[in-house]
């Protein structure tokens, strides 16, 4: 379920540019709003349309995103409003007026003002390319976007200037080596999303996320990936 918010007004590009992780303007982009401490709050596609920017966001986060953006308005000449627009998506040939999903070519296209789904196996696509999903791999107030693959999936621009949470994100990029993050692993069996992944000695190595076709996305500590990992009754194969 998606909802489409609209940001309108003469300051709309400058306003969003100073808040979100990616450059906004002429082309569709994937971006996130972060806390000042650099933790994820919401992710969305930013799609230019005439005199407004459309924000394509998970419906469960839409109201909170609109509220937070409105808090930052101050004197900016912008309005943040819900719309009645629907969105269709698919991996079949792109229909007229659709846009390519900016995260990864495997995610196909999106068409605003239409509704539907061509039946693509989205979990299989996401697992194959380690693409995180809102409220599954991307958890508000917990996830750091670099651990979730935002740089690889074109969701953060390190040359665009300041945004909320930029200092922490830049420090993780330039001054530290990531010790954990999302990876695609093999799985024999299944377990609920959120099941801890354990080493043979019982220490936690990660958390199991989306699963499809004998593979899964997991949030792993890289120094604890090895033989003998389990998640509930399932066997995890790095």
Would you call 23 helix, strand, or coil by DSSP?
A: coil
Q: Per-residue confidence of the chain (238 residues) as pLDDT tens digits?
A: 999 999 999 999 999 999 999 999 889 999 999 999 999 999 999 999 999 999 999 999 999 999 999 999 999 999 999 999 999 999 999 999 999 999 999 999 999 999 999 999 999 999 999 999 999 999 999 999 999 999 999 999 999 989 999 999 999 999 889 999 999 999 999 999 999 999 999 999 999 999 999 999 999 999 999 999 999 999 999 9
- Burial readout 99-119 (b: 16 or more C-beta within 10 A, e: otherwise): bebbbbeebbbbbbeeeeeee
Q: Which CATH superfamily is domain 2-175 in?
A: Probable tRNA modification gtpase trme; domain 1 (3.30.1360.120)
- The DSSP H or E segment spanning 69 is helix 59-71
- pLDDT at 180 (0 to 100): 97
Any idea where the domains of the chain sit in the sequence?
A: 2-175, 180-237
Question: Which residues 6+ apart lie within 8 Å of 187 measured at CB?
Answer: 208, 211, 214, 215, 216, 231, 234, 235, 236, 237
């Amino acid at each position: 379920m998606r909802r489409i918010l609209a940001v309108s007004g003469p300051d709309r590009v400058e306003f969003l540019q100073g808040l979100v992780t990616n450059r906004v303007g002429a082309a569709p982009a994937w971006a996130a709003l972060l806390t000042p401490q650099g933790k994820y709050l919401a992710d969305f596609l930013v799609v230019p349309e005439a005199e407004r920017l459309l924000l394509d966001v998970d419906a469960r986060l839409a109201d909170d995103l609109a509220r937070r953006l409105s808090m930052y308005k101050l004197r900016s000449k912008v309005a943040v409003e819900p719309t009645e627009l629907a969105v269709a998506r698919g991996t079949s040939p792109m229909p007229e007026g659709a846009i390519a999903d900016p995260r990864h070519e495997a995610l196909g296209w999106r068409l605003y003002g239409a509704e539907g789904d061509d039946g693509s196996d989205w979990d299989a696509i996401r697992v194959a390319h380690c693409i995180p999903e809102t409220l599954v791999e991307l958890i508000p107030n917990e996830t750091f976007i670099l651990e979730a693959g935002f740089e690889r999936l074109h969701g953060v621009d390190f040359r665009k200037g300041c945004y909320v949470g930029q200092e922490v994100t830049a420090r993780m990029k330039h001054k530290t080596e990531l010790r954990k993050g999302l990876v695609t692993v093999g799985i024999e069996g299944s377990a609920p999303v959120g099941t801890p992944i354990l080493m043979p000695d019982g220490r936690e190595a990660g958390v199991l996320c989306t699963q499809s076709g004998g593979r899964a996305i997991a949030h792993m500590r890289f120094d604890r990936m090895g033989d003998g990992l389990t998640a509930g009754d399932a066997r995890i194969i790095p």
